[in-house]
Structure 1
Amino acid sequence: MAEPVSSEVIISPGNSRKLKSNSEHSQCPTFVYLPELSSEKIGGKVLYSTDNQEDAALNLLKSCDPVWNDNALSLDKHLDGWETSSLSSQSCQWCIIQLGIPGVVYGIDVDTAYFIGHHPLRMSVQVAKLSTENSPKTSKKTSKEERKRLSEWAASKDWDELVPAQPLQPGYQTSCHNYFKISNRNSWTHLRFSIFPDVFSPGGGVARLRVYGQPAADLSCTPNDSLTDLLLLQNGGVCVCSSCPKMIQLASTLNYDDQSTTSDNTCTRPGENHLLPIFDLEKLKDTAVDVFWAVYRLGHPGIVKKIKIQTGKFDCQYLSFCRLEACLINRKQNFEDNGFEDKADLYPWQTLLPLTGLLPCTQSVFEITPPRHGGVITHIRLSLSLSAPNPVKHKLLSATLKRLHIHGYKCIPSFPKL
């Protein structure tokens, strides 16, 4: 069910999604560009851990990269991650994690960054699919009675083995990422992550646990006349391909509701709630413009009524533009085909939002007139056009957009019989 990915991949600690060169991107497993279903940003939670350290285990789900703690060598300090107690007598420590979004797991990255000499020798992952009613309710401060109830609940569930016990590499720069490719295509809601410390050094831990996959959202209970964000990750919207790895990194951050308690430092522009006027490409033909694009599959076919774009904090001395196109594709086709990016230009794209200039720290709303096919669409193509020198191009790309919302109504398309 799980296949370890070659350990010869060389990347810096905790930096699998921020590689610096195309060669490094080619070495990185393709599943790391899928949504991170376990991230705290989309609602991932640690329900229980056997070492009574749920707060420490929550570090596994952080979206940020692990950082080195200069005081980690002292007795009262811990590394950035889930570090179990050195006094524990158990041969195995485990925690129960509720995925932020139920989904199909395609790959797992167990990051042992900075855990050197006291990293777990092995780990395993088990999974379960539970309804909302069967999922345990937890509070911030878990009492002894609650811990006992959670322990009994975890023991009573039938857990399916997703990754059998596998060895882990130490947290050196060249070996900290332990990738496991998953072939099981069932959908899951919870997982039990187990680590097996060295019997001679029972303490230790893991920096991050990243679970990558496709969301399995169910919009069947959403009324057809209810305005819904069809692009939202929690509703099943997902980026299927892009022009380059940098673009798919950006695209994967645009379509989710941030459930974490941390806030960013993006400033706002009081009194300004608009973008620059729509531009004509012909007027920009003498300007050197690089185009980056990403294709999203909507969580459900629908009719788009409103688009909301929120820009990030970037240097407005460089020209930045965006365009949105839409098309209707038969969902019976295989959207996981690796060659989809090669076929993207062959589909009948219709303009949804013309080329539009962007200003930093701005939120804008556009009312949409439906395109062809009766207005029903299944895919969105986002194109970003940037006029900037190479040294700042990728930095500008990552900061241009912050959120993209596609609001519309669910609709079942009709396709002609062949």
Structure 2
Amino acid sequence: MSTGSGADSAPAPITLDKTAHHKTSMFSSLKIRNYRLFAAGAVVSNTGTWMARITQDWLVLSLTGSSAAVGVTTAMQFLPMLLFGLYGGVIADRFAKRNLLFVTQGAMGLGGLFLAAMTLSGHVEVWHVYVTAFFTGLVTVVDNPTRQSFVSELVGPDQLRNAVSLNSANFQSARLVGPAVAGLVTAAVGPGWAFLANGLSFLAPITGLLLMRAGELTRGPLAPRRGKGQLREGLNYVSRHPELIWPIVLIGFIGTFGFNFPIWLSAYADDVFHGGSGMYAAFTTLMAAGSLIGALLAARRRSSRLRMLAGAAGLFGVLLVAVAAVPSAYVFAALLVPVGAVGLTVNVTANSSVQMATDPEMRGRVMSLFMMVFVGGTPMGGPLFGWLADAYGVRVSFAVGGLVVALASVGVGLMLARAANLRLKVDLRRGRQHVAFVARERKRELAPAA
């Protein structure tokens, strides 16, 4: 199958900057009707999803009295992505993405309604929650790459970065609102109604999909439905393009070593600052607020820069190392806002850079690899950094995570520079730019002897 740009034969030359000249404002993607419908539906369903996540954990804990059982629920949600994540991208590339989203969003709604029925009827057992979590994880395997790649069909390449940033802002807004609403609903009328609200929330994105104007979608070619080797083809495609493989490698390091905040923040709140669950909730809210700020700031930028990706990842790692040693709870809490903002900047920059560098017919497979690497690292990093926190203290665990992220950002930055035929130049003279990437000098070919 052709990938549309001759990229199968050789890697395309890359630069560290991909500058789009299209004028972009913070909310410019919302001028596009189809994207407005998509975003409006997403904010409703995302809020319902966060309500269900919080209520689900509370329900499992109340049924079993075991934190380990809550961990099993989380594992059930992540396991399908680890096992089948790449196959979800193949499916996303084979079928019209709008049609697929009707199926996946409807299936997620049914999962929520099933758990609501079990809970409201008084027959819910913990295995019902496990089954629903695993089912939702299976649907997410297809839904995630489909939604990620569908954004480009909604807005086109000029507004892709802005739309990806607004999607993140949408998600973080729901992350702030959903848990609070879930707490109120659960306290007032019980967890079953929170699950019911989640199930019904998926009517919003389905309605948005129905109201979209199909003629305004920027559709790319689809992969053959019965083609062999499409999964291998996607992996080979990424391996031949350094502008894809190195951002994905970097996001894998960040997902595994840098995004273990449930472990770190709970340990700081309990063991270091002795503030209990209230302080943990405050820390989590501040992180979410910082992430929302980072998403909105990212939406204002007009370009997708690989140098920004490496720089933001390095800053994220340095921030983690610095915050690890903060002695005051108030200073620690305040610094969580920039940590959240920079972490979200890394995620948005990597996501938009990878999407913009990928041929449309390969985008589902590439984004499924991106999400599998990012999400799949969490179950591996969690136990490791939990053990470090228990054995050597949470400050050491936090700092080690930041150090690994900082070193990975330096390594990936150098590899991207090498792929772009650049070298690092250091000039300590006054009035000069002290550190910069410059083009490598080509070796002169010797003229043949006469």
More helix by share: 2
Give the structure-1-normalised TM-score: 0.26
Select the structure with the greater relative contact order (CA < 8 A; seq sep ≥ 6).
Answer: 2
More strand by share: 1
